[in-house]
Amino acid sequence: MSEVLGSGVAVQAKVDGDYITIGCAVSCAWSYVNEIIGKTDVNAGSYRKKRVRISDVRGNVAGVIITENEPTRLSIFHFLQEAIRRSEVDMRFLFEDTLGTVRSIQGMFLVSGIDLTADVSAFGEFDLNLEGTGSVSTEAIDPPGEVVCDEMKSDWWVLAEGETTISGAGENGEFFAGHTLLEVARTGYAGMEIIGSGTPGNAQALYTGSTTIAFDPANPGLPDEKIFVIWLESDAS
């Protein structure tokens, strides 16, 4: 999961084939409103049914006034030009998350209002209000992935006398290989510490995710010694 920070949001207008950011913007907003109206069907006498009629889109950008257009920054005065302020403008809102994934909402907008304000002790500021005309488009977004359900399993093995490892199928035919171990219990000791590397010491079990669980070389298996293992298997594995 990655979040979109306010600094990752930009509003751009298309000029001569290129989208250019409106700047220096400090805040922006985009809204979509559906007009909900009544609907009639066979059950409408018992419960009010509704549907969407017409949708409206609005946008707003506010920021610090700059006087000149730059290759990557568009001045608010661009939108005050007669040909711009009275025409549809192709614009898009960009949302970039902290991992760099970008989503965009693109559509045609009309300038519904421009406010320019200035205080003697601060930057001059603009407020550009936009009214959508026509539809908006955005990229398709993948549906949520399937929930992976883990299944907990267990089995037991005989640790042969003098041996320090177990592998293969357990006494009930189960395999822990490649799965996530939760519990390794050796006769007389439950809850051994599961380590992923190094040499196992006393009360430790070495499991690297492969086919073997290894135990302390200084404590090989005793007669009739058993190992009990609990592990998680996921649907994906």
Partner 1 sequence: MPVREATYDTVPGAYEIIRPELAFRRIIKVSLAGTVYHLVYTGEPGNLEVLYTASTGGFRFINSFGYYLINNPNAPVDTYIKDKIHIIWDE
Residue 58 CB neighbour total at 10 angstroms: 15
**Which residues between 139 and 178 bind partner 1 (CB under 8 A)?**
149-150, 152
Task: List Cβ neighbours of 184 (8 Å cut-off, separation of 6 or more).
Answer: 191, 192, 194, 205, 207, 213, 227, 228, 229
For 161, left (φ over 0), alpha (ψ -120 to 50), or beta?
Answer: beta
- Decide: is 203 part of the binding site for partner 1 (CB under 8 A): yes
Cβ of residue 174: shortest distance to partner 1, in angstroms?
17
- Decide: is 193 part of the binding site for partner 1 (CB under 8 A): yes
Cβ of residue 234: shortest distance to partner 1, in angstroms?
10
- Decide: is 114 part of the binding site for partner 1 (CB under 8 A): no
Q: Which of 153, 181, 211, 228 binds partner 1 (CB under 8 A)?
A: 181
Backbone dihedral angles phi then psi of residue 77, each to the nearest 5 degrees: -70, -20
Tell me the two tokens of residue 89: 């403008």
Q: For the chain, what is the largest distance between any 2 Cα atoms, rounded to a whole number of angstroms? A: 95
Nearer to partner 1, 83 or 147 (CB): 147
Please give the Cα distance from 233 to 237 (Å, whole number).
7
Nearer to partner 1, 24 or 195 (CB): 195
Nearer to partner 1, 87 or 187 (CB): 187
Helix (H, G, I), strand (E, B) or coil at 214: strand
At which residue do the structure tokens 């985009």 appear?
Answer: 30
- Decide: is 222 part of the binding site for partner 1 (CB under 8 A): no
Nearer to partner 1, 45 or 188 (CB): 188
Cβ of residue 236: shortest distance to partner 1, in angstroms?
14
Using CB under 8 A, list all residues that contact partner 1.
Answer: 149-150, 152, 181-183, 188-194, 201-203, 230, 232
